[in-house]
Structure 1
Amino acid sequence: MNQPPIRMTYREACRQAIRDALLRDPRCFIMGEDVGLYGGCYAVTKGLLEEFGADRVRDTPLAESVIAGAGVGAAMAGLRPIVELMTCNFSLLALDQIMNNAATIPHMSGGQFAVPLVIRMATGGGRQLAAQHSHSLEGWYAHIPGLRVLAPGTVQDARFMLAAALDDPNPVLIFEHVVLYNAEGELDPVVTAVDIHSARVRREGRDLTILTYGNSLPKALAAAEELASEGIQGEVIDLRVLRPLDTKTIFASVTRTRRCVIVDEGWKSGSLSAEIAARLAEDLFFELDAPIRRICAREVPVPYAAHLEEAALPQVPDIVAAARGLVRPR
């Protein structure tokens, strides 16, 4: 008998993933600001302190460099730490530990030391949290060799990516978009794991490819639905893994549709979208029937005012307009 889909929020999926990790491996623990008594800044770890105790669910000082540095040391000593940093903006205070230690120690030690560390952090705008809490910096980290960078955009990925990340012997960064925590989705009871290597086709289409990730995924799917009502079939690719990029899936789709829109909540200059566009231009230039289009955040600090924040971030009408311009140029 087929089991019905399980419906839950993205937040609950993240919480269940952490709980499963703590149950599965006694070496695993979570540490971060307010993850214990407060239940997490986004309520992701609510109830875990009571279930697992203070040794496994550790509140830390407001010191990102200390949190990440302790995580690196714990991973090198054989534990499986999950480090939570409140926002990706604040992760810059731990950039030395992430870039100069976690990402480089396996290489600089000639493979003698592994750093099986997972760092979770919230990313993105749309919640009126102003400039110091609202940026999308995952593209910065996708620039760094030695890191694997994940951006779960669905409840299913939020539920199962963590386990795969903890099994990776190298450091993995997971970017959870703040707007998605309240979003609901369905889990297929048959699915018990997802890979952290490949992109996913979330909607098939023939006329153009829309490449995106995170909270831009539901926007891209909504845009594709609107375009379909006009007879334009857009294929939506959820990048999911931002480093290393799954160019095989990207190239296969763009080769077939011959047009591409990239939606990236990061700033356009020096962005992940720029990297993808460059790879398409280098390897698929003669397969393209139209210029590559990029929909990115406006190049300003993310505003606090709701109407300005909305204007600063990629929205469904922006994606629809770009797609129309490629398929039906004026």
Structure 2
Amino acid sequence: MRQLSYRDALNEALDEAMAADERVYLIGEDIGIYGGGFGVTQGLQAKYGKSRVRDTPISESALTGVAVGSAMTGLRPIVELQFSDFITIAMDQLVNQAAKVHYMSGGQLKVPLVLRTAGGSGTGAGSQHSQSLENWLAHIPGLKVVQPATAYDAKGLLHAAIADDNPVIIYEHKLCYQEMSQVPESYYEIPLGVADIKREGTDVTLVATSIMVYKALEAAEQVANDISVEVIDPRTLVPLDIETLLASVAKTRRVIVVTESVKRGGFGGEIVAQIAESDVARTLKQPIRRLGGEAVPMPVAAELEQLAIPQVTTIVEALYQMSQGGEDEHEVN
């Protein structure tokens, strides 16, 4: 199977969706001739015209409002916000309108809206362009939240999001755009709410999201002679495939959750809570460990950026700590 970059996989999915359904259109800042802030919409305006690839002024609230309204009338808009930080400007449209319209209309209205945005650190973009805010929208009933890590997942999840009649927020990590993986040329969907086991193991379950999937896999490889690590990527935060996570934890009886987003109040805590509230928690050999970003504005300097979020060395250290002790087979009562 061919190798495709994360960026090109997204571009291909958009192209396929627009070719298949004239109701699908793109809207955002610099998505036309410029091809989007990270090149994902390159060539699409030339192919489909300005009416279906709509460049907008710098007003995230306005363009998101247009998308919400058009979705309510039967179109299937795909919004691009250049940085996930800018979602703060569109929060009223997303939280108070898109997320609630279906419920408040008694099911009469649907909002088949997809919002794509680039998040995360690693590019020296600073405090206002490097945040991981997926936790915010995962908190809102009525919104679905997706975090693809690989090119294969990006294409399949984007297609599923476009086909969904609910508003779906897709957080794409900036460092993932260059990542390559095998991607089918044909159309395919990855159902929302299905996790993926990226690496099988028996000693520790390592749950990682977005760019942390790559760091988790590297850490698992570094400790492979001593610890058998199972790496699981939830792929979607809402809906969350807790069943796959619990099945793994039941096997390994040790679990670490790692996200880039700030640890305090982060979605990693939600995953930990759901595991702790399950019957599997009674069989754990070690307390659950949670790794996440520091509670600081994201620095510009590369050295400080790295200190602000979990790194491979951080995960390796946690794996060795988790694997020590806890050999008593008696369950906690």
> TM tier, shorter chain?
over 0.9
User: Aligned partner of 1:322: which letter?
Assistant: A
Distance in 2, Cα, partners of 1:192 & 1:168: 14
Q: Report what 1:186 is aligned to.
A: 182
Tell me, what secondary structure is at the counterpart of 1:302?
coil
Alignment of 1:288-327 (within 5 A): 288-327=284-323
Distance in 1, Cα, partners of 2:186 & 2:59: 41
Q: Report what 2:275 is aligned to.
A: 280
Alignment of 1:113-262 (within 5 A): 113-188=109-184, 192-229=188-225, 231-262=226-257
User: Aligned partner of 1:245: which letter?
Assistant: L
Unaligned 5+ residue runs, structure 1?
none
C-alpha distance 47-157 of structure 1, shift in aligned 2 (>3 A): same
Q: Identity over aligned residues, as a percent?
A: 45
How far residue 144 of structure 1 moved from its aligned partner, in angstroms, is: 0.9
> For 1:35-68, what per-residue CA distance to the aligned partner results, in whole angstroms no more than 9, with x for missing partners?
0021111011111111111001000011011111
Alignment of 1:15-54 (within 5 A): 15-54=11-50
8 Å Cα contact 2:16/2:187 also seen in 1: no
> For 1:99-122, what per-residue CA distance to the aligned partner results, in whole angstroms no more than 9, with x for missing partners?
100000101111010000000000
Tell me, what secondary structure is at the counterpart of 1:69?
helix
Distance in 2, Cα, partners of 1:190 & 1:323: 39
How far residue 310 of structure 1 moved from its aligned partner, in angstroms, is: 1.0
How far residue 182 of structure 1 moved from its aligned partner, in angstroms, is: 1.3
Normalising by the residue count of structure 1, what TM-score does the alignment of the two structures yield? Answer: 0.96
> For 1:223-269, what per-residue CA distance to the aligned partner results, in whole angstroms no more than 9, with x for missing partners?
1111113x200000001010121111111111111001101111111
Distance in 2, Cα, partners of 1:131 & 1:95: 19
Normalising by the residue count of structure 2, what TM-score does the alignment of the two structures yield? Answer: 0.95
User: Aligned partner of 2:230: which letter?
Assistant: E
User: Aligned partner of 2:247: which letter?
Assistant: A
Tell me, what secondary structure is at the counterpart of 1:228?
coil
C-alpha distance 191-14 of structure 1, shift in aligned 2 (>3 A): closer
Stretches of 4+ aligned residues off by more than 3 angstroms = 188-191
Distance in 1, Cα, partners of 2:64 & 2:301: 32
Q: 2:61 aligns with which of 40, 47, 65?
A: 65
Cα RMSD for the two superposed structures: 1.3
Unaligned 5+ residue runs, structure 2?
327-333
